[in-house]
């Protein structure tokens, strides 16, 4: 979702972080200001009211001596009405018994803040006392006014801070985002792509280094491609040379025998046994040529992919080898579990299985057990062929898939090479595990779906 992608973007996170820092800092400063303002207002109001009480006490001295109640009342009234923070005022005189308050209905409350000031005559001494009562919430009202002003200030700072954070994030993050997209395109094969973006400081240096790196990668990939092509040509020529040498080596011996037998036949010295040997050597050449053709045809372009039931092919292979297994006293053990159709080449799959089970039978001429298992796992068909033969030495196992490598006197060394090619061209993998004296297990993994789609 675009919104989720925006919330996860570096620009938003940097902007949000800076805005949060600005907001928290502003709030902390505002709290300190309010605390100081509250203390200041309390001191300022109390100091002003103390001063007013002292002035009122001096003015009330003479009227109190003359017991001028009207003037005393007028003084209290004027003091309360002229000071908005006062809720009432009282005057007491113990010597004359005078008690005046304004407003007349005012009654003192223990919760009110009271300012007391004595009325003193220089000749007589204490005459009475002035009491001024502070309006409830006087300081609170001033604090609320201050809070409103601070709130407006905080909002202004936050808005300006957010805009500044967005500008900074755009200036810093935008080049990084451009570099990130360019890196993704390079990862998809766009080697040599450079970016042109305005930046300063470390970001400008980063852009410069990125462009240099991209050009260097392009040159490196091009050099690797040329080297790979040269190596591929060299390997192809080497493989052709090895193939030709293998063909010559395999056919040379039977051709030599045939040549000798033909000479004997011309001289009239050939026996019926010689002609039987001649026929066997011709059949041997035919078998060698057939194996070479099978190896040459094991390329992927020769395979026909279609929807195949693996259990059906496994059953056919099992029935084909059953007579030979019975003859060698080899017990067949099969385990097929939860199989499903897959897209592959039925001919190639059948040939792979036949090559493996026949090799397993050849490893147990005196009897044993041949296990054939198939399961589905992680979108792949897992095939396992295990025998209880003598096992394969490590030095042989490392070369077992090489063309023309064989340990059998009559072998061509192409059976497992063909199997390996077929497995690879079906998009699968093959692995051999063996320990001398314990037998051999070959495991094959084939994808259920052909990556290139089924082909008829």
Q: Mean pLDDT over residues 85-106, rounded?
A: 87
What are 256-276's pLDDT values in tens digits? 777 777 777 777 776 777 777
The CATH number that domain 300-447 falls under is 3.30.565.10
Q: Is the pLDDT of residue 384 over 90?
A: yes
Q: Is the pLDDT of residue 94 over 90?
A: no
Q: Mean pLDDT over residues 345-352, rounded?
A: 86
> Where residue 74 falls among pLDDT bands split at 50, 70, 90?
very high
- Please name the residue that has the structure tokens 């080049």: 175
The pLDDT, as a whole number, for residue 454 is: 42
Tokens linked to 419? 């199997």
Q: Is the pLDDT of residue 292 over 70?
A: no
Which residues are within 8 A (CB) of 307 and not within 5 positions of it... i.e. 6 or more apart?
A: 341, 342, 343, 454
The domain segmentation of the chain, as residue ranges, is 2-139, 203-296, 300-447
Q: Mean pLDDT over residues 382-391, rounded?
A: 91
The CATH number that domain 203-296 falls under is 1.10.287
Most confident of 46-50, 163-167, 282-286, 360-364: 360-364
The pLDDT, as a whole number, for residue 385 is: 92
The pLDDT, as a whole number, for residue 235 is: 53
Q: Mean pLDDT over residues 11-24, rounded?
A: 70
> Where residue 456 falls among pLDDT bands split at 50, 70, 90?
very low
Distances (CA, A) of 142 to 39, 137, 168: 11, 9, 38
Rounded CA-CA distance 62/54 in Å is 14
The pLDDT, as a whole number, for residue 87 is: 86
Phi, psi for 191 (deg, rounded to 5): -65, 140
What are 192-208's pLDDT values in tens digits? 778 777 666 666 777 77
Q: Is the pLDDT of residue 296 over 60?
A: no
> Where residue 209 falls among pLDDT bands split at 50, 70, 90?
confident
User: Per mean pLDDT, which range of 142-151, 304-313, 364-373 is the poorest?
Assistant: 142-151
Superfamily, domain 2-139 = PAS domain (3.30.450.20)
Q: Is the pLDDT of residue 4 over 90?
A: no
Q: Is the pLDDT of residue 443 over 50?
A: yes
Q: What integer best gives the mean pLDDT of the chain?
A: 77
């Amino acid at each position: 979702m675009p919104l989720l992608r925006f919330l996860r973007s570096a620009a938003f996170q940097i902007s949000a972080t800076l805005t949060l820092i600005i907001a928290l800092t502003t709030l902390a400063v505002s709290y300190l200001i309010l605390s100081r303002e509250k203390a200041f207002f309390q001191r300022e109001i109390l100091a002003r009211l103390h001063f007013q009480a002292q002035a009122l006490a001096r003015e009330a001295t003479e009227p109190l001596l003359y017991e001028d109640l009207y003037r005393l009342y007028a003084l209290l009234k004027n003091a309360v009405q002229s000071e908005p923070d006062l809720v009432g005022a009282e005057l007491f005189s113990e010597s004359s018994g005078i008690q005046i308050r304004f407003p007349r209905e005012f009654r003192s409350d223990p919760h009110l803040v009271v300012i007391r000031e004595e009325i003193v005559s220089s000749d007589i001494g204490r005459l009475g006392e002035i009491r001024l009562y502070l309006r409830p919430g006087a300081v609170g009202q001033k604090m609320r006014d201050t809070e409103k002003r601070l709130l407006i200030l905080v909002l202004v700072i936050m808005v300006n801070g957010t805009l500044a954070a967005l500008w900074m994030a755009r200036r810093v993050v935008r080049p990084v985002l451009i570099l990130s997209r360019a890196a993704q395109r390079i990862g998809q094969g766009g080697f040599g792509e450079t970016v042109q973006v305005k930046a300063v400081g470390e970001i400008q240096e980063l852009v410069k280094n990125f462009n240099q790196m991209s050009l260097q990668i392009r040159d490196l990939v091009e050099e690797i491609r040329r080297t790979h092509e040269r190596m591929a040509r060299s390997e192809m020529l080497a493989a052709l040379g090895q193939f030709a040498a293998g063909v010559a080596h395999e056919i040379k011996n039977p051709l030599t025998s045939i040549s000798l037998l033909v000479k004997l036949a011309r001289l009239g010295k050939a026996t019926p046994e010689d002609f039987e040997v001649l026929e066997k050597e011709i059949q041997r050449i035919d078998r060698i040529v057939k194996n070479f053709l099978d190896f040459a045809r094991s390329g992927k372009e020769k395979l026909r992919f279609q929807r195949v039931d693996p259990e059906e092919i496994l059953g056919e292979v099992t029935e084909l080898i059953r007579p030979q297994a019975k003859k060698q006293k080899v017990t067949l053990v099969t385990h097929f579990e939860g199989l499903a159709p897959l897209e592959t080449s039925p001919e190639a799959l059948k040939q792979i299985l036949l090559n493996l089970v026949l090799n397993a039978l050849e490893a147990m001429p005196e009897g044993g057990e041949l296990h054939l298992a198939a399961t589905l796992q992680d979108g792949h068909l897992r095939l396992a062929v295990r025998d209880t033969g003598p096992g394969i030495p490590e030095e042989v196992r490392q070369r077992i898939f090489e063309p023309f490598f064989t340990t059998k006197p009559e072998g061509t060394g192409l059976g497992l090479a063909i199997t390996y090619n077929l497995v690879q061209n079906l998009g699968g993998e093959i692995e051999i595990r063996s320990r001398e004296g314990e037998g051999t297990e070959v495991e094959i993994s084939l994808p259920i779906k052909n990556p290139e789609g089924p082909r008829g």
